[in-house]
Amino acid sequence: MKTLRLHGPRDLRIHEEPAPLLGEGEVLLKIACVGICGSDLHWFSEQGIGDAHLSSPLVLGHEFSAAVAGGSCNGQRVAVEPAIACGDCEFCQKGYPNLCENIIFAGHDTQDGGLRELISWPIKNLFPLPETLSNADGAMLEPLGVAIHAVDLSHINCGMTVGIFGCGPIGLLILQLARLSGAAKIFATDLLPHRIDAAKAFGATQVFLTDRQPGADKILAATSGRGVDIAFEVAGTPAAVDDAFAAVCPGGKVMLVGIPDDDKTSFPASAARRKGLTIKLVRRMKHTYPRAIQLVESGRIDVRSLVTHRFEFERATEAFELARRREGIKVIIEP
């Protein structure tokens, strides 16, 4: 089978390798579609993310859909939960599999991900796709799950005002979920005009381009100085973090969803303390796939419009370079 391995910064190579062996409780899957995530871009550009670093050539890809290859469910299309939690540690037992002490995650550290023709994966991590959902829709359920988890943690109430700082795929999905949750006003900021346009199309109350002026200044002006109840930072940049803390109102919440390049996030402590802010960090997701499927199948959340570029397997490096330049919104690869 063909696999795509990262050997170093921006060094992807196609290999011919044997099909994977099945472990206990696993089935063989034929990969249908793989989305390129911001965390994949950290691996691609920096050969690592956070405190995890490339130790051997790695197959990236954790946003993917597939079809079961063999057995009684042969041909069944599925979305794939990329995180394998142990189920036994303290945090799994408390209902936090995303915080599992022994977690295995596709396309991370030493665990190969979905950018290959075949993968073996636990049956418990597979979710059948309705006929109305495409393979690309199935791959988009993973970033939607992250957005659902972020909104769950934020406890949005009807009538609240929300700020979204970073309008990539997850930011735009949070925007849609905030609307469904009853947010009265949603402000969205980004450096890129095409992403600002997307936020407007998805129903943001006001959108602000931040290439010249901080987004916080514009949001404070639009709210008569009050600011927003909840700020979602989804860019992973110091400027977006600063804007989120500056734009949130006293007693508000800042949700840190973005992943910074240098594994550090900082904010003005005095301002955050004076405002009495609640700060939450979003770690992947938990138990979101059934809800994500229902939201997309019912038409209440649009994931399909976020997919702007599709590439064949052999053009994967081109796909990663395009995504690295932040062109389009979601870039997918179809093996």
Q: pLDDT tens digit string along 287-306?
A: 999 999 999 999 999 999 99
The span from the CA of 115 to the CA of 118, in Å, is 9
Q: How confident is the model at residue 335 (pLDDT cuts 50, 70, 90)?
A: confident
Give the C-alpha distances (Å, rounded to integers) separating 321 from 36, 57, 149, 287, 327.
11, 19, 29, 32, 9
Contacts 24+ apart (CB under 8 A), 315-324: 316/4, 316/12, 316/14, 316/115, 317/10, 317/12, 319/36, 320/10, 320/12, 320/36, 320/40, 320/41, 320/44, 321/10, 323/36, 323/40, 323/41, 324/41, 324/44, 324/45
Average pLDDT over residues 117-121: 98
- Model confidence pLDDT, tens digit, residues 307-329: 999 999 999 999 999 999 999 99
Cα torsion through 8, 329, 35, 139, rounded to 10: 160
Region 174-178 average pLDDT: 98
- Residue 229, strand partner residues: none
**CATH number for the domain running over 147-281:** 3.40.50.720
What one-character DSSP code corresponds to residue 70? S
Pair of tokens at residue 94: 């408390």
Distance CA 272, CA 278 (A): 9
Domain boundaries, the chain: 2-128+303-334, 147-281
Does 274 score more than 90 pLDDT?
A: yes
| pLDDT above 90 for 263 | no
- Percent of the chain clearing pLDDT 90 (strictly above): 94
For the stretch 16-55, pLDDT in tens is: 999 999 999 999 999 999 999 999 999 999 999 888 999 9
Report the residue count for the chain: 335
- Please measure the distance between the N-terminal and C-terminal CA atoms of the chain and give it in whole angstroms: 11
Alpha-carbon distances of 317 from 3, 9, 206, rounded to whole Å? 13, 11, 36
Give me the pLDDT at residue 221, please.
96
pLDDT in tens, 201-216: 999 999 999 988 889 9
Which residue intervals of the chain are DSSP H helices? 38-46, 90-93, 135-154, 169-180, 193-201, 215-222, 238-247, 269-275, 289-297, 316-324
CATH 3.90.180.10 applies to domain 2-128+303-334: yes
- What span, in angstroms and rounded, lies between the C-alpha atoms of 312 and 52? 28
pLDDT at 262 over 90: no
Band (pLDDT 50/70/90 cuts) for residue 106 is very high
Kindly report the number of other CB atoms within 10 A of residue 209's CB atom: 16
Identity at 126, one-letter amino acid code: L
| Mean residue pLDDT across the chain | 96
Taking a C-beta distance cutoff of 8 angstroms, is the pair 169, 141 a contact? no
- Cβ proximity of 166 and 235 under 8 Å: yes
Stretch 59-80: mean pLDDT: 95
Tell me the C-alpha distance between 317 and 324, whole Å. 10
Tokens of residue 320, six digits:
């990663």
Output the DSSP codes for 272-286.
HHHHT-EEEE--S-S
